[in-house]
Structure 1
Amino acid sequence: MAFALTECRIFTGECILDDHAVIIKDGRINKLLPSSDLDSSDFNNSPGTDSSLRVYRLNGELLAPGYIDTQVNGGADVLFNDAPSVDSIRAIGAAHRRFGTTAFLPTLISDSREKMEAALAAANQAMTEQVPGCLGVHLEGPFLNLQRKGVHPEAMIRRPEADAQQLLTSLKRGKTLVTLAPEQIPDGFIHNLVESGVIVAAGHTAATYDQVRHALSEGLTGFTHLFNAMPPLNSREPGAVGAALEDNKSWCGLIVDNHHVHPATLKIAINAKPRGGMMLVTDAVQTVGSENNDFELLGQKIVRQDGRVSTAEGTLAGSDLDMASAVRNCVQILDLTLEESLRMASLYPARFLGLASDYGRIGQGFKASMVLLDKDLRVRETWIDGVSSKEVT
């Protein structure tokens, strides 16, 4: 089935085109053209196409590539750690889709071996069943540094078991992202994971600059929620932050919620890194899409107050952030251009995951996973593989 979205502005991933239209067929973008050319398009005259093309008018609003979130712990009162199942992945994806996320990695923080196996099995099943937006799984831990554990349960943090690599490379479909502390794993561990197709990021780490540089040489390409759960940049010990900002080929996840990192620090980091190296993540827990303000996170009482989620002692416990808010914060708080803010939510995470041939742009051949935004950058509608959110609610 084919249809057209017209009378809208379109952010292609590079620039904004006024009064344009996009033709979608079989879940992918077939053509991008001026709205005035839609009636005279040769699409309807192509061999094998249905001459009746449904046209939807978008009243001049902004159509952009759908947001991609590589770190989603939960949503709508569901925490992936509590129930690592395909139903949880589906519920979390639906909760975040309301805020423009059309692709995501359900994220399991440090937990037991059994929970890790269940999370991998759930992700594999979700990919098999084509759960909307699911791209694989993110295992954040458990091979982390206790000194930088944050809200991760201390009892679950450990060194890699003898068969850890076999477990971490067991996902048959989709992408596997692993966050680990480079100083807590044996030499060659990262190299072997990367050779098997796993994406590796540093996080919850107290690694020295030299240790991180060595991890980068083994194939590490990401930094999980930069600045958080890692030592600050120091004049004589750059640490993980310094290594991340110096490296031109890696990507850094940023939580832009006005709680995790000061806006001035974010601006400095964004200016220090080559364009394309910073991407937005939410690190969202189950409060997104929920009215509840009190909940448990792996046995710890957590409270949401004024957009901040934390333990009774004040330790941040993930975030209450959604991707639409993160984009708005980039524009309104960090003074970034709209175009760059949108790239940080779509194109750059697509590149990080090695999926830039399918996601992050609106152009011929790309997946029709898109978000429609009003003038205040609030989400009006989303499409995942050409299916509108209005068709599934």
Structure 2
Amino acid sequence: MQANSLLIQNARLYTHVDTGEIGWLFVEGNKISALGQGNAPQQVLDISARKIDAAKCALLPGFIDLHVHGAMGYDTMDASPEGLHQMARFYASHGVTAFLATTWTAPREHILTALQAVAETVGIIPGGAALLGAHLEGPYINPAKCGAQNAQWIRRASKEEALQFLDTGVVHLVALAPEFPENLWLIDECARRDITVAAGHTMAGLEEIRRAVEHGLRQVTHCFNGMLGFGHREPGTVGAAMVLPEIACELIADNIHVHPAAQKILVEVKGTEGVILITDAIRGAGLPDGEYPMDERKVTIRAGEVRLPDGSLAGSVLTMERGLQNICLASGRPLEQVWRMSSLNAARALGIHQRKGSLEVGKDADLVLLDNEFKVCLTVVEGTVVFENLESGQA
């Protein structure tokens, strides 16, 4: 058997041209080597490889979560390589094949230490999703829309500090408040380094977002949440995100942060190419309801909601496959239209779509197999099976 040779048969393929037709996909090494509709040709069947009968499950590109803080009791801000490993394994069990470990507003030393831990861990994680790098959420945000971010550490973007963060080499996404002139230089600098910038935890109106787009802004953080809402006289951050074609919209599709009707509106306005599903999951993801630490504060998880003592939402315990199912139901669109929101759109946002985000020959073999209930049956990261929950007789 060749290293990491894998043949998945009898799967419903979702690609740019395949819309759920039964087909097959062959992996050699860490790449997708071939795929097609119907039965695999004899020359592929003759190759020594592990063969999996997908039993008509949906075969999709692996999920890419570019905004996720933690899971299983661990958080990016713990600055623990072991914690990042545990997070990656949990994410893989929910179909994630790549993610950005996301920081939050904190003192410089805490953020820098977290980024250094990411730098030590970045890449393929045995048994888990690949760690692509870091998402710097804060500290350069607006205290009026801080949400669960710790307001005492919010500040403007000083060059000394921000460049120290960027120079770790692992930051691929920065969320900031673009309405502050002191933050605009950082958008310019990130654009120069091919780092994506999002408007998040912000009071920016339409014209301020439009100005930031000219500097290189390309995204909004968890659309509708932590931003100036839509108004018919001032469209706000939400309105700007909807009307400006340069902007992609992150979305927490847990039906808690955003009503299903609002999710539908967003998809109708931005199209399936303009929405990026995220989880914004915190350390309590994968754990029972209860009380969990968030910096020096506590959050309570109950019935899927994560809240601070004052009732404010503080992230989620959402997983990507549930978010994908929710957006299918909310938008009324089939899987062949929405799959890209869980993978390809994120890959495009990070500039890695030439190698990740879709099922195409030559791309990384990052795969997820979902049954009709959106349960994850198989996760493959760069050709290696890292999670499987296949029924007996399928493999």
Alignment TM-score, normalising by the size of structure 1: 0.92
In structure 2, the CA distance between the partners of 1:32 and 1:369, relative to structure 1 (3 Å rule), is same
Task: Check conservation: 1:66, 1:346, Cα contact below 8 A.
Answer: yes
Code of the aligned partner of 1:6: Q
Asked whether 1:262 is paired with 2:259, we answer: yes
Q: Deviations over 1:199-225 (max 9, x none)?
A: 110000011221111111100111000
Aligned equivalent of 2:76 = 80
* Aligned counterpart in structure 2 of residue 10 of structure 1, from 10, 13, 25: 13
Code of the aligned partner of 1:113: R
Gaps of 5+ in 2: 390-395
Distance 2:16 2:303 in 1: 33
Gaps of 5+ in 1: 45-50
Q: Once the two structures are aligned, what percentage of the paired residues are identical?
A: 31
Distance 2:122 2:76 in 1: 16
Helix, strand or coil for the counterpart of 2:179? Answer: helix
Q: Deviations over 1:360-380 (max 9, x none)?
A: 111100111110111111111
How far apart are 1:227 and its partner, in Å? Answer: 0.9
Task: Check conservation: 1:248, 1:274, Cα contact below 8 A.
Answer: no
Deviation larger for 368-377 or 286-295:
286-295
Asked whether 1:112 is paired with 2:115, we answer: no
How far apart are 1:130 and its partner, in Å? Answer: 5.3
Q: Deviations over 1:13-32 (max 9, x none)?
A: 45335331111011110011
1:221-370 superposed matches below 5 A: 221-370=218-367
Asked whether 1:91 is paired with 2:86, we answer: yes
Task: Check conservation: 1:96, 1:288, Cα contact below 8 A.
Answer: no
How far apart are 1:120 and its partner, in Å? Answer: 1.9
Aligned equivalent of 1:123 = 118
Deviation larger for 218-227 or 122-131:
122-131
Task: Check conservation: 2:112, 2:165, Cα contact below 8 A.
Answer: no
Deviation larger for 146-155 or 383-392:
383-392
Deviation larger for 83-92 or 59-68:
83-92
How far apart are 1:390 and its partner, in Å? Answer: 4.2
Task: Check conservation: 2:88, 2:125, Cα contact below 8 A.
Answer: no
What is the RMSD computed on CA atoms of the aligned residues? 1.9
Distance 1:275 1:241 in 2: 17
Aligned equivalent of 2:144 = 147
Task: Check conservation: 2:85, 2:125, Cα contact below 8 A.
Answer: no
Stretches of 4+ moved more than 3 A in 1?
Answer: 128-132
Aligned equivalent of 2:392 = none
Asked whether 1:70 is paired with 2:66, we answer: yes
Aligned equivalent of 1:33 = 36
Task: Check conservation: 1:233, 1:242, Cα contact below 8 A.
Answer: yes
Deviation larger for 365-374 or 325-334:
325-334
Task: Check conservation: 2:9, 2:40, Cα contact below 8 A.
Answer: no
Deviation larger for 247-256 or 273-282:
273-282
* Aligned counterpart in structure 2 of residue 188 of structure 1, from 185, 189, 202: 185
Distance 2:301 2:337 in 1: 30
Q: Deviations over 1:52-104 (max 9, x none)?
A: 233222222111111111111110111222x1232222111111111111111
How far apart are 1:292 and its partner, in Å? Answer: 4.5
Aligned equivalent of 1:57 = 53
Distance 1:254 1:241 in 2: 12
Distance 1:66 1:306 in 2: 27
Task: Check conservation: 2:264, 2:330, Cα contact below 8 A.
Answer: no
Task: Check conservation: 2:123, 2:131, Cα contact below 8 A.
Answer: no
How far apart are 1:341 and its partner, in Å? Answer: 2.5
Aligned equivalent of 1:384 = 381
Task: Check conservation: 2:20, 2:336, Cα contact below 8 A.
Answer: no
How far apart are 1:298 and its partner, in Å? Answer: 1.3
Aligned equivalent of 1:48 = none
Q: Deviations over 1:157-197 (max 9, x none)?
A: 11122313422321335x51110001235243311221022
Code of the aligned partner of 1:74: G
How far apart are 1:291 and its partner, in Å? Answer: 2.1
Helix, strand or coil for the counterpart of 1:317? Answer: strand
Aligned equivalent of 2:211 = 214
Distance 2:6 2:372 in 1: 24
Task: Check conservation: 2:187, 2:197, Cα contact below 8 A.
Answer: yes
Distance 2:153 2:236 in 1: 25
Q: Deviations over 1:305-355 (max 9, x none)?
A: 111110121100001111011011112233222123311101111111111
Distance 2:57 2:104 in 1: 38
Helix, strand or coil for the counterpart of 1:389? Answer: strand
Code of the aligned partner of 1:177: L
How far apart are 1:297 and its partner, in Å? Answer: 0.9
Distance 1:102 1:270 in 2: 24
Distance 1:77 1:357 in 2: 34
Alignment TM-score, normalising by the size of structure 2: 0.92
Aligned equivalent of 1:200 = 197
How far apart are 1:129 and its partner, in Å? Answer: 6.3
Q: Deviations over 1:255-298 (max 9, x none)?
A: 11111112212211221124411110111011211125211111
